[in-house]
């Protein structure tokens, strides 16, 4: 196994030296190798597996203040990234239909500006792993579902490739839209951590709808970039298109089960109750569907 990993890393190192974007390949948490990302992902999966076992006979942590501060910080970061991506793309003259990517102007300050904010977006995917940690420390294991873990782990790894090889062009659209959704989503979760406000939050169902719409819009955008033959690496177009199809399928299944078949009240913690229902059917404490999907 170690030999396979070493051979794969050597192949990636060679590819990075020959085709990686020279502007970003040596930046922090990129460094021409996905090894750090793989290690963090492995630690994340191990915590998902063993964290609930560690907490089994322990009281849940009371971390409401930290949750409010954490979610507030994520709101601020998401607002910054959303605004900065828009300003950067406007300066570059990008359009929604096609934003060409090129390495020919590697030192163009306008392109560097976009690359920097996209790096923050990539790094935020590492920060967002804390979402799962907080769930487990609060013994909300029914929220740590396959879709939740899969989405967090894959987004971090996918964006390592994006920042190494295509930190610009068409990548701006999905990141910008996701930042907007995160402003709304983390605002909700920050407020829901305050007991006096939790019962007054009636708009959880609409966050779920916004997330699903986000995936659909991003799919249409990426699929259209294939149709118009936008100057952007083909593997990037197809990777994003396929990933959006997968997210639409998984998230639609959650929405149908939770809000249509289940006929849930929007004020109820739908993902929680749906997961508990599935848990009782399958004899598992980690089942159901995702509470958060970015």
List, by residue number, the catalytic residues: 151
Using alpha carbons, select from 124, 139, 155 the residue that is nearest to residue 244.
155
Q: What 8-state DSSP symbol labels residue 290?
A: -
How many CB atoms are closer than 10 A to CB 84?
A: 19
Query: Is residue 237 a contact partner of residue 225, using CB atoms and an 8 Å limit?
Result: yes
d(CA 203, CA 189): 11
- Give the rounded distance of the alpha carbon of 132 from its chain centre: 12
Handedness of CA 282, 289, 188, 140 (dihedral sign): positive
- Token duo for residue 45: 């999966």
- Token duo for residue 170: 């068409």
């Amino acid at each position: 196994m170690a030999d396979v990993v070493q051979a794969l890393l050597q192949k990636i190192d060679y590819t990075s030296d020959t085709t990686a974007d020279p502007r970003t390949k040596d930046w922090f948490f990129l460094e021409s190798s996905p090894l750090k990302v793989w290690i963090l992902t492995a630690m994340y999966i191990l915590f998902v597996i063993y964290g609930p076992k560690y907490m089994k006979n322990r009281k849940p942590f009371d971390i409401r203040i930290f949750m409010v501060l954490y979610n507030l910080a994520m709101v601020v970061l998401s607002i910054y990234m959303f605004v900065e991506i828009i300003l950067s793309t406007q300066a570059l003259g990008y359009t929604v239909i096609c934003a060409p990517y090129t390495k020919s102007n590697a030192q163009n300050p306008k392109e560097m500006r976009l690359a920097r904010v996209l790096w923050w977006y990539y790094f935020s995917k590492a920060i967002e792993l804390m979402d799962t940690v907080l769930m487990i420390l609060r013994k909300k294991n029914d929220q740590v579902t396959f879709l939740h873990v899969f989405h967090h782990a894959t987004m971090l790894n996918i964006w390592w490739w994006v920042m190494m090889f295509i930190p610009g062009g068409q990548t701006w659209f999905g990141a910008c839209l996701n930042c907007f959704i995160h402003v709304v989503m983390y605002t909700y979760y920050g407020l829901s951590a305050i007991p006096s406000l939790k019962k007054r939050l009636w708009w959880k169902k609409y966050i779920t709808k916004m997330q699903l719409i986000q995936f659909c819009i991003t799919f249409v955008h990426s699929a259209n970039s294939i149709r118009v033959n936008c100057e952007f690496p083909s593997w990037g177009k197809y990777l994003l298109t396929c990933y959006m199809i997968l997210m639409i399928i998984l998230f639609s299944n959650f929405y149908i089960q939770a809000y249509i078949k289940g006929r849930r009240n929007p004020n109820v913690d739908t993902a929680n109750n749906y997961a508990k229902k599935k848990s009782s059917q399958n004899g598992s404490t980690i089942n159901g569907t995702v509470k958060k999907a970015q």
